[in-house]
Structure 1
Amino acid sequence: MYNATVARLTYRALLGRKRAALLFALPLLLLVISVAVRLLAGADDGTTGDLLGGFALATMVPLIGVIAGTGAIAPEIDDGSIVYLLSKPVRRSVVILTKLLVAMGVSVFFSAIPTFFAGLILDGNSRHLAVAYGVAAAVASLAYSAIFLLLGVVTRHAVVAGLVYALVWESLIGSLVPGARTLSVQQWALASASHIADGGAISAQVGLPVAIVLLVVVTLGATWGAAGKLRRLTLAGEE
């Protein structure tokens, strides 16, 4: 269920100049802010939680998910080059799974690792906040990759739709509206973080069992939807 050639092409597309610049810019900004906060305010658990939860998990992680998830397939569909890939003797489900794994790997690398190191810079992993938010960023990255890969297959405006979802739903509505928090990937990820950090350091609006179920259902559902949509995409010679 993994094709090395498809993976290599996807990595090349995601780590090209423009996308690579965006992928590096957001984590670098987080680390720069973390250093500045530590120098100006010193180590503080409350500040650490606000920065890692408010910026890293609520904004940076979904934005990186948009770049990686949509960038794994949407540009190929938009410019028509996907036909060359689909004309090869590779199952379309394998194409989707391979691209998803690449998108997940890129998202986790550029989200979870910088979040963890930002936590170390801010307070040296006091109350296990660095590890907790790092794990939350990794968990959220997996779900976001699947969601945004699906958007990349179903719409030609995947980046716009992804940005609306990331900035409006996750960063704004999902953070402020109580009822919407249950359907927020951010809150599902926070549920895992709350069980890693020392008691009371991190709170989530969703219990861990429910969060795990929703994460699995959304990730698998988005993957299945993307594979089904790509399977129905016909080439000129197939019509």
Structure 2
Amino acid sequence: MYNSTVARLTYRALLGRRRALILFALPALLLLIALLVRTLTGVDDQVTANVLGGFALATMVPLIGVIAGTGAIGPEIDDGSIVYLLAKPVKRPTIIFTKLVVAIGVTIAFSAVPTLLAGYLLGGNSQQIATAYAVAAAAASVAYAALFLLLGTLTRHAVVVGLVYALVWESLFGSLVPGAKALSVQQWALALAQKVAEGGLVTSDVGLPTAVALLAAVTIGATVYAGQKLRALTLAGEE
């Protein structure tokens, strides 16, 4: 199910100059914020949770997911170069699965790892807050990568749509509107963080069993549907 050639091409596309700058800029900004907050306020677990929840999980993780997920396949579809890949003797589900693995790896590397480091900078992992948010970021990365990979197969405006979703739904409605929280990847990931953290500073409006089931359903469903869309694209090209 995993093709090293497809993976290499996808990594090259995702870590090109422009995308790499954005991918590095967001974690760098998080670490800078963490350093400044630690310098100004000292160790404060509530502040740590606010920074990691408010910026890292609610904003940085979905934005990186947009870049990695849509960038794994969207540009190839837009410029038509996907035709050359589809002409190779590689099964379409293998292409999608490989691109998903790459997108997940990039998203975790540029979101979960910096989140853990920022947590340690802010509070030294007091009450397991850094670990909890890193786990949440990793779980959210998987779902976001699948969702935005699917989006890349559905529309040529995947980045714009993805940014609207990340900034409006996840960062705003998913954090503030009670009814929308149950349909937020952020809240599902927070359920895992709540299980890991100590002291009650990390909470979610979604129960853990429900959150795990929804994360799995979204990831699997989006991946399968993306494979179907790619198969349909192949048939259209062959016609």
Q: What TM bracket, shorter-length normalisation?
A: over 0.9
One-letter amino acid of the structure 1 residue matched with residue 22 of structure 2: L
- 8 Å contact 1:191–1:204 — kept in the other structure? yes
CA distance in 1, matches of 2:70, 2:30: 22
Local SS of the residue matching 2:233: coil
TM-score, normalised by the number of residues in structure 1: 0.99
What is the aligned partner in structure 2 of residue 133 from structure 1?
Answer: 133
One-letter amino acid of the structure 2 residue matched with residue 62 of structure 1: P
Residue 34 to residue 238, structure 1, CA distance change in 2 (3 Å):
same
Local SS of the residue matching 1:198: coil
Equivalences for 1:116-155 in 2 at 5 Å? 116-155=116-155
CA distance in 1, matches of 2:40, 2:199: 27
- 8 Å contact 2:86–2:234 — kept in the other structure? no
CA distance in 1, matches of 2:186, 2:202: 13
Alpha-carbon shift at residue 235 of structure 1 (Å):
6.1
- 8 Å contact 1:140–1:186 — kept in the other structure? yes
One-letter amino acid of the structure 1 residue matched with residue 39 of structure 2: L
What is the aligned partner in structure 1 of residue 51 from structure 2?
Answer: 51
What is the aligned partner in structure 2 of residue 166 from structure 1?
Answer: 166
Residue 237 to residue 192, structure 1, CA distance change in 2 (3 Å):
closer
Alpha-carbon shift at residue 234 of structure 1 (Å):
3.2
TM-score, normalised by the number of residues in structure 2: 0.99
What is the aligned partner in structure 2 of residue 107 from structure 1?
Answer: 107
- 8 Å contact 2:63–2:166 — kept in the other structure? yes
Local SS of the residue matching 1:103: helix
> Alpha-carbon deviations, 1:108-158, whole Å to 9, x = none?
000000000000000000000000000000000000000000000010100
Residue 199 to residue 233, structure 1, CA distance change in 2 (3 Å):
same
Structure 2 unaligned residues grouped into runs of 5+: none
- 8 Å contact 1:73–1:153 — kept in the other structure? yes
Alpha-carbon shift at residue 48 of structure 1 (Å):
0.4
> Alpha-carbon deviations, 1:170-205, whole Å to 9, x = none?
000111110110000000000000000004121100
Equivalences for 1:1-239 in 2 at 5 Å? 1-234=1-234, 238-239=238-239
CA distance in 1, matches of 2:126, 2:118: 12
Identity over aligned pairs, percent: 70
CA distance in 2, matches of 1:24, 1:193: 24
CA distance in 1, matches of 2:52, 2:198: 16
Task: State the Cα RMSD in Å.
Answer: 0.9
Local SS of the residue matching 1:2: coil
Local SS of the residue matching 1:160: helix
Runs of 4+ in 1 over 2 A off after TM superposition: 234-237
Structure 1 unaligned residues grouped into runs of 5+: none
- 8 Å contact 1:83–1:235 — kept in the other structure? no
One-letter amino acid of the structure 2 residue matched with residue 145 of structure 1: A
